Structure 1
């Protein structure tokens, strides 16, 4: 995809300005586990609110900004999207963790599995359930329990520093995308469905959809084919990533 001059923070601002109430993220959970059956939908305004709270946590508690590496050790999920946008909004580099990668070499690790944060400078433990009020697992001493602490942070985010255009925004394996190039210009737009199991793939799909003033529908797990077809029709899906 061709690069854009827009940063992810500017892209999010454009979504809010265009239509704050329109759904931009819809997630269905068909995984085997406690979140099975959840449907979560975030409008541009609600997405921006999550991003603001997470960004303020990164800045105020963890001193994150340009030059900080925030490693996401999360599955494809709506929480993955707002943590990536939060890191980008404060100028940090988002790194998507490999399946066997711990926290070594990262300034901050955001994960639902505390074991994957071993060796990180700071650890944020995320609980995937939509209505969680505290972590479902034991949170190591000194780590942030997102479910308990995120709500205490402000709803307006003002970045302390802006990243340079050639700073790395996204690292996935051998791929490096700068802040000037992480938002594509040849965007998909529309209502884009994905069942990706790759969190980096979800980030790229969402950025491409949003860059075209669209939205993303994520299916986690494997629903029955008839149920999936009915779901995509009811959601008005126009493309599949």
Structure 2
């Protein structure tokens, strides 16, 4: 049985210090890089947050409404570790600042999307949980009960520069494949078209995958 915790444990034994997720937001200047070990730590904290704070059990559904972001990769790792499914109508939701208007889910956790995943600086609507407050107190160790079975996963050894949403179908498959191989992800948000060649060179990408122009 192939599961995300099993794939992650293999990478931790092989190359814990290798960069796994590198994130750029060129509108803010943010650059965040997570090694395999750091990403694993975030995934464990997130899985504990899902189970203990959001009270989610294996088989439950979760809605995540975020732009392409490094936290999306972490949330994907957490939900697969917990045996959760993505569903756009789920009663438990994770949203960014743009998702705080209108009708909120029964349980809503909001992410400020600040560097280092810090808390909101402004008050949130009543009842909305602040991810920036909750994540730091979670345990670094998570013991999966019923992680998601991933089926056949093709290992991917590339360093892929992309703007794909890691929570979309194609982005999920890409991230899991990179974890199964020796690959890594360079995720970019708000990059001007003219900046792709330089970013690819600077990050030593071996493949580029864009939402509007896939290139292998």
TM bucket, shorter chain: 0.7 to 0.9
Residue 108 of structure 1, aligned match among 92, 96, 105? 92
Residue 215 of structure 1, aligned match among 165, 173, 184? 184
**Residue 195 in 1 paired to residue 191 in 2?**
no
TM-score by length of 2: 0.85
Deviating more after overlay: 67-76 vs 115-124: 115-124
User: Runs of 5+ in structure 2 lacking a partner?
Assistant: 210-216
**Residue 180 in 1 paired to residue 150 in 2?**
yes
Distance between the aligned counterparts of 1:136 and 1:11, measured in 2? 37
Give how far 1:121 is off.
3.3
Which aligned runs of 4 or more in structure 1 are off by greater than 6 angstroms? none
2:81 corresponds in structure 1 to 89
Give how far 1:231 is off.
2.2
Listed one character per residue, the Cα deviations across residues 183-204 of structure 1 (whole Å, up to 9, x for unaligned) are x533332101112357403222
Residue 24 of structure 2, aligned match among 28, 53, 70? 28
TM-score by length of 1: 0.77
Instruction: Name the count of aligned residue pairs.
Output: 207
User: Runs of 5+ in structure 1 lacking a partner?
Assistant: 98-104, 164-168, 170-178
Distance between the aligned counterparts of 2:164 and 2:154, measured in 1? 20
Measured at CA, do residues 41 and 144 of structure 1 come closer, stay the same or move farther in structure 2, by a change above 3 Å? same
User: Is the 8 Å Cα contact of residues 75 and 199 (structure 1) preserved in structure 2?
Assistant: no
Q: What RMSD in Å do the two structures reach over aligned CA positions? A: 2.2
